[in-house]
Amino acid sequence: MAAAAAFLDIGDLHGWYGESHVLHGVTMAVGKGETIAILGRNGAGKTSTLRAVMGILRKRRGVVRLDGADLLALPPYRIPRMGIGYVPEERGIFSSLTVEENLLLPKQVAEQGLPLDEIHALFPNLHERRNSSGTKLSGGEQQMLAIARILRTGARLLLLDEPTEGLAPVIVQRIGAVIGTLKARGYTIVLVEQNFRFAARLADRLYVMENGQIADVFATSELDARMSSLHTYLGV
């Protein structure tokens, strides 16, 4: 376990959708440059955690800090500007914007953002289809767009919510490769995944959530040892 001060520090985070209490005191710490994955079955609270960090889940209580800065006190639109890139579960591609407009939508938050030509090189499809409506792309292409979009901003903390969901294995591989590259470049990545094998290949540590709480956390190296309990949590 990294003893260094957490880059992303979540402490006793509670969250509600209306009257529904969905997060019951989530605690996790992500070090700078780490890649961690949050596993758990449907409804465990994984997406809600990310939404709570981003301010999409409005009713929250607890501690959320990025490099020491309190995120809970900020209005939602300021949170990305702190250097967080969010790829939502539904990908969040706007149909009323073209591919290029979708790509350029989020504001640049730091100079380390990938320049446009590099992005076009990394994702050539996006360049080709840049004037079509965002949602005319295939599922895989939309996922690429969603990732490309936040790379341009220079955000150093990436929150990826189920990036491989519903995609063909070949695309999944590609995305895995992209994330691997990002990891190598020192990005801090929080990956929410149901596909734990995919997650295990990329993550340093694995968190397991159940009923809105962290049920277990262990290093990827310990995965084999924890396999049976993991299967219980995931209901496989």
Partner 1 sequence: MVTIFGVPAAALYGQLLVGLINGSFYALLSLGLAVIFGMLNVINVAHGAMYMLGAFAAWFLLHMFGISYWWALGLAPIAVALVGVVIERTTLRRVAHLDHLYGFLLTLGLAMVIEGLFRYWYGSSGQPYAIPSALAGGIKLPFMFLPIYRVWVVVVSLVVCLATWLVIERTHIGAHLRAATENAVLSQAFGLNVPLLVTLTYAGGVALAGLAGVLAAPIYQVSPLMGSNLIIVVFAVVVVGGMGSILGSIVTGYLLGIVEGMTRVYYPEASSIVIFVIMVVVLMLRPAGLFGREKDSAANASPPIGATQATGMDDKWAAIGALGVVAALIAAPALVYPVFLMKLMCFALFAAAFNLLIGFVGLLSFGHAAFFGSGAYIAAYAAKVWHLDPLLCVLAGTATGAVLGLLFGALAIRRSGIYFAMITLALAQMVYFIALQAPFTGGEDGIQDVPRGMLFGVLDLQHPVAMYGFVMAVFVVGMAVLWRVVRSPFGQVLKAIRENEARAISLGYDVQRFKLKAFVISAALAGAAGGTKALVFQLASLTDVTWQMSGDVVLMTLMGGIGTMLGPVVGAAVVVSLENALAGLEFPITVLIGAIFIACVLLFRRGIVGEVQQWFARLSRVSN
Q: Which residues bind partner 1 (CB under 8 A)?
A: 18, 54-56, 75-81, 86, 88, 92, 94-97, 101, 104-107, 109, 149, 153
Pull the structure tokens for residue 105.
Answer: 């939508």
Residue 148 CB, nearest approach to partner 1 (Å): 13
Task: Output 37 or 146, the one with its CB closest to partner 1.
Answer: 146
Task: Output 147 or 172, the one with its CB closest to partner 1.
Answer: 147
Residue 158 CB, nearest approach to partner 1 (Å): 13
* 3-class DSSP state of 118: helix
Task: Output 42 or 96, the one with its CB closest to partner 1.
Answer: 96
- Output the CA torsion 207→209→213→218 (10° steps): -30
Residue 105 CB, nearest approach to partner 1 (Å): 6
Our CA angle for 127, 130, 134, nearest 5°, is 125
* CB within 8 Å of 159: residues ≥ 6 apart: 50, 53, 54, 84, 85, 86, 87, 190, 192
Phi, psi of 106 (to 5 degrees): -70, 150
Residue 88 CB, nearest approach to partner 1 (Å): 7
Task: Output 129 or 205, the one with its CB closest to partner 1.
Answer: 129
* CB within 8 Å of 155: residues ≥ 6 apart: 80, 83, 84, 85, 109, 110, 113
From the DSSP assignment, how many helices (H) and strands (E) are in the chain?
8, 10
By C-alpha distance, which of 209, 224, 218 is closest to 49? 209
Residue 8 CB, nearest approach to partner 1 (Å): 16
Residue 149 CB, nearest approach to partner 1 (Å): 8
The DSSP output letter for 133 is B
Task: Output 18 or 68, the one with its CB closest to partner 1.
Answer: 18
Q: What is the 3-state secondary structure (H, E, C) of 160-227?
A: EECCCCCCCHHHHHHHHHHHHHHHHCCCEEEEECCCHHHHHHHCCEEEEEECCEEEEEEEHHHHHHHH
Task: Output 36 or 146, the one with its CB closest to partner 1.
Answer: 146
Task: Output 96 or 228, the one with its CB closest to partner 1.
Answer: 96
Residue 92 CB, nearest approach to partner 1 (Å): 5
